[in-house]
Structure 1
Amino acid sequence: MPYDKIVMLDENRMLHTFQFFLPSRSGQTLANQVPFIIDPFNPPKFQRMGVTFDQMITNIDQCFATTKTGKFLVCVGFWDNTIKIFDTDNYKLIQSVCFHQDVVTCVTIDDSDQFVVTGSRDGSVIVWRFNPKSGELEETPLHVLIGHDDTVTSVDVDSDLDLVVSGSQDSTCILYSLSKGRYIRSIIRKENAPISRIKIISEGYIILFCSKNRCLSLYSLNAKLMKDVLVSNITCWFFLDHHYFLIGSNQGRLEIRKIHNLKMVEYFQFNEPLTAITASEHYGFLIIGLMNGKMMIAKMGI
């Protein structure tokens, strides 16, 4: 029976995990099935994370990254400047690493679960090798990348493109080589707007968002601006594939947009701000977190 897992963290630092499966009854189609059933043999679990988060961090959702299986959760944003890794099956703290000189403000894991990238208030970006079996980082970083003059707010990595990108409050996005740790080029926002979110698209694009002016931008890997659009203040986003992505806002709006031109395809309105978006890769369902603590499940039909 196919199982999946949802990992959720609430504002009280309570870590929750839910195991579920998609029912498969003879004579039923997907359309009239219950979206999913919580596994009765593995009831929901929860555990408080002991270390306090730094209160100055705004994009708190960028302080967490899970491996593809959901087995390990990498957390940053702690006042003691550490990177912590938890086993979501038993809530055991696997590792705590301190290397940045200030609070670690963002983290991401590459699609192969081989690399973890972190950014910090000290302006540095660190690339770590990650062991997806043990859930541990190598003690010595692979690269320490510099170039920003202010807090690093968002990072992303693509091992196929051999690329690491970082966005900062200094209004710049910097591209580095993943394998060599070398500077490649910078994207500089002329309007002096701090970069809040950044994403590498494997087709050769970079998408970034500046919350100050609510500008969503599409760039080529050569740093050429291809499109700017004005959007609501983005609180979370999720990239479905090479063609579509979703953005959630503090106004409760969920938008589906095309990657290659940022054009909006469809939108849905909720009564609460959106705090998280993810998907059940195998079953085609969206999982949407709301500010009131509710979790919504929606079938994808793009």
Structure 2
Amino acid sequence: VLVSPIGALHPKRAVFSAERYDTWEEDGTPPHHYGSLYSTANTTLLWMLRIEPFTTFFLNANENQFDHPDRAFSGIARAWRNCQRDTADVKELIPEFYYLPEMFVNSSGFELGQREDGTPVSDIELPAWAKKPEDFVRINRMALESEFVSCQLHQWIDLIFGYKQRGPEAVRALNVFHFLSYEGSVTLDTITDSAQRQLMETQIQACGQTPSQLLIEPHPPRSSAMHLCFLPQSPLMFKDQMQQDVIMVLKFPSNSPVTHVAANTLPHLSVPAAVTVTCSRLFAVNRWHNTVGLRGAPGYSLEQAHHLPIEMDPLIANNSGVSKRQITDLVDQSIQINTHCFVVTADNRYILVCGFWDKSFRVYSTETGKLTQIVFGHWDVVTCLARSESYIGGDCYIVSGSRDATLLLWYWSGRHHIIGDNPNNSDYPAPRAVLTGHDHEVVCVSVCAELGLVISGAKEGPCLVHTITGDLLRALEGPELCLRPRLISVSSEGHCVICYERGRFCNFSINGKLLAQMEVNDSTRAILLSSDGQNLVTGGDNGVVEVWQACDFKQLYIYPGCDAGIRAPWTCLTTRGG
């Protein structure tokens, strides 16, 4: 499908476009297959008509009137039929089709008119396989990211950015557009006649602008990704071949339960490891071996079957260096140590701990166990910490929540290994932002640098969504009885799962819409959303790890139970397995 532009997908339209080019006789204008581009400002406004500010932009561009109802974007099937039949309709989808379900809903109640058959134009009519806009976007995106599309994506790159964009190859591919849409086709500065220049600018705006040509040779096809079926974000991870029992158990000498796990295992790290912390604040840096393959993965051999992917911290296993692994500073007696009290940096070299009586949180070296920084800023005890995904160099955001009902956003310098930008002022770092709005003690928080958002929950009341600059965007109002959030997990794709008291779960869109809810019997202590927001991992006092489909909380898999409760899950990603 991706080998041809949208205007040549249907055989009859392909013949029409080829004949148009071959018989072109208009003076002064080079021959072309299509008079307008696949992406223009007008087509974007047509797709995005139902949400602001695009509604206003559309009205400003069309004399304050909506388009004729029979021409308006009113249904997916109708739009597809039009681009198969109408020789002037060559518009392609825009990125919002794959992440913005709000564009399909006329939430503002605009009067868009009625079609000739009397049908009012309002919300977009979806295909039968999509019950709601969120389903359409989710399934549409799964199709876009499927192996079928990925293996052909190089052909689309050739058309849009590559060697089929211009010249003889573009002619053969039926991929020639109006000459004004191409970069460098005209130099406006050389046009001295103002009327002629304005006319030319209007034509260019109507035709659209072809991207810069980046390649003059065919783009190589992408290698198959089927061997990555075991990665955490893939729905294939729960196929039969991946439903393995527990492959190894780490039993620590301490009788204190493990309450926090952070697995940073990418091979470029100097110490790929799974860092664990117990309730007694004894941490372990358990080395991860990236050379160990998984069954069915590339490079897997029988010799590797007897190797284990993780090695217990020798200082803990040999009981020879426990002093380097024990955090001894006194915490506030009222603090219940849990997974929210700890954050491990992306390089596994430092661990941040909160809950101290002096209203600070502290930074410790995982190599020596020594205290490296004390950070003050709150007016009461710090109750929770969270770390964003890291930038190149290890920089990231740290968020601290407190009994003073506020959150502070800090910047972690991967270069200097401190909170703050200035190594000469590490004793008094300043927060990047102060986040307010809660009325009670903050108990859980999650931060996503890619979205630029912080989602937090207090002891009572709705969860709040802030920007990383400190602006309060909205409150995530759960249904009745969902008043006391305890756990939050957010993905960079805009999904937010909140676990409330008594096993109640809600899945919100980042725009605040409640997408799904469920109630479980287990006392849930840990949740983790996959990076793509599709799967949710939960664990609790019954010792069972369960995997759910996040969009509707359908249970996908139950791992064999263990003897103790689950307090902290983590998925890790390496070049060979997860």
| TM-score bin (small chain) | 0.7 to 0.9
Q: Could you tell me which residue of structure 2 aligns to residue 124 of structure 1? A: 406
Letter in 2 for 1:72: Y
Letter in 1 for 2:301: Q
Are 1:72 and 2:363 counterparts? Answer: no
Are 1:161 and 2:161 counterparts? Answer: no
Task: Choose from 253, 256, 267 the match for 2:558.
Answer: 267
- CA displacement at 1:247 relative to structure 2: 0.9
Q: Secondary structure of 1:241's partner?
A: coil
Q: How does 1:139-154 map to 2 (within 5 A)?
A: 139-154=429-444
Q: Could you tell me which residue of structure 1 aligns to residue 35 of structure 2? A: none
Q: Secondary structure of 1:196's partner?
A: strand
- CA displacement at 1:99 relative to structure 2: 1.2
Are 1:250 and 2:250 counterparts? Answer: no
* C-alpha contact (below 8 Å) 1:21/1:37 kept by paired residues: yes
* C-alpha contact (below 8 Å) 2:362/2:371 kept by paired residues: yes
Count of aligned pairs: 282
Task: Choose from 305, 308, 326 the match for 1:35.
Answer: 308
Aligned partners of 2:500 and 2:303: how far apart in 1? 39
Q: Could you tell me which residue of structure 2 aligns to residue 207 of structure 1? A: 497
- CA displacement at 1:226 relative to structure 2: 1.2
Q: Secondary structure of 1:223's partner?
A: coil
- CA displacement at 1:246 relative to structure 2: 1.2
Distance 1:94 1:265, change over 3 A: same
Higher CA-based Rg: 2
Q: Could you tell me which residue of structure 2 aligns to residue 21 of structure 1? A: 289
Superposed CA offset, 1:214-273 (max 9, x none): 101101122111111112221122333312231110111210112222221011222211
- CA displacement at 1:106 relative to structure 2: 0.8
Q: Could you tell me which residue of structure 2 aligns to residue 191 of structure 1? A: 481
- Give structure 1 stretches of 5+ with no counterpart: 286-299
Distance 1:252 1:154, change over 3 A: same
Give the percent of matched residue pairs that are identical in Structure 1 and Structure 2: 23
Q: Could you tell me which residue of structure 2 aligns to residue 100 of structure 1? A: 378
* C-alpha contact (below 8 Å) 1:20/1:39 kept by paired residues: no
Q: Determine which structure has the larger strand proportion and give its number.
A: 1
Aligned partners of 2:524 and 2:575: how far apart in 1? 26
* C-alpha contact (below 8 Å) 2:396/2:413 kept by paired residues: yes
Distance 1:27 1:172, change over 3 A: closer
Aligned partners of 2:531 and 2:459: how far apart in 1? 28
Aligned partners of 1:233 and 1:37: how far apart in 2? 29
- CA displacement at 1:37 relative to structure 2: 5.3
- Give structure 2 stretches of 5+ with no counterpart: 1-266, 294-298, 421-428
Distance 1:222 1:21, change over 3 A: closer
Aligned partners of 1:27 and 1:104: how far apart in 2? 46
Q: Could you tell me which residue of structure 2 aligns to residue 229 of structure 1? A: 518
* C-alpha contact (below 8 Å) 1:153/1:196 kept by paired residues: yes
- CA displacement at 1:192 relative to structure 2: 5.8
Q: Could you tell me which residue of structure 2 aligns to residue 278 of structure 1? A: 570
- CA displacement at 1:127 relative to structure 2: 0.4
* C-alpha contact (below 8 Å) 2:292/2:307 kept by paired residues: no
Letter in 2 for 1:128: W
Superposed CA offset, 1:84-116 (max 9, x none): 111112212111112111111111111024210
Root-mean-square deviation (CA, aligned residues, Å) is 2.5
Aligned partners of 1:22 and 1:43: how far apart in 2? 21
- CA displacement at 1:137 relative to structure 2: 0.9
Q: Could you tell me which residue of structure 2 aligns to residue 135 of structure 1? A: 417
Q: Could you tell me which residue of structure 1 aligns to residue 51 of structure 2? A: none
- CA displacement at 1:31 relative to structure 2: 7.0
Superposed CA offset, 1:249-298 (max 9, x none): 0111210112222221011222211122223421777xxxxxxxxxxxxx
* C-alpha contact (below 8 Å) 2:467/2:473 kept by paired residues: yes
* C-alpha contact (below 8 Å) 2:527/2:568 kept by paired residues: yes
Q: Could you tell me which residue of structure 2 aligns to residue 295 of structure 1? A: none
* C-alpha contact (below 8 Å) 1:7/1:88 kept by paired residues: no
Aligned partners of 1:225 and 1:30: how far apart in 2? 49
Q: Secondary structure of 2:488's partner?
A: strand
Aligned partners of 2:413 and 2:300: how far apart in 1? 43
Instruction: Please report the TM-score for the alignment, with normalisation by the length of structure 2.
Output: 0.46
Aligned partners of 1:58 and 1:18: how far apart in 2? 25
* C-alpha contact (below 8 Å) 1:53/1:79 kept by paired residues: yes
* C-alpha contact (below 8 Å) 1:152/1:167 kept by paired residues: yes
Task: Choose from 504, 508, 514 the match for 1:219.
Answer: 508
Q: Could you tell me which residue of structure 2 aligns to residue 238 of structure 1? A: 528
Q: Could you tell me which residue of structure 1 aligns to residue 263 of structure 2? A: none
Superposed CA offset, 1:121-156 (max 9, x none): 110010011101222112011111111000111111
Aligned partners of 2:499 and 2:312: how far apart in 1? 38
Aligned partners of 1:206 and 1:86: how far apart in 2? 30
* C-alpha contact (below 8 Å) 1:196/1:209 kept by paired residues: yes
- CA displacement at 1:53 relative to structure 2: 2.7
Instruction: Please report the TM-score for the alignment, with normalisation by the length of structure 1.
Output: 0.84
Letter in 2 for 1:257: W
Which is further off, 215-224 or 232-241?
A: 232-241
- CA displacement at 1:7 relative to structure 2: 1.7
Q: Could you tell me which residue of structure 1 aligns to residue 460 of structure 2? A: 170
Q: Could you tell me which residue of structure 1 aligns to residue 274 of structure 2? A: 6
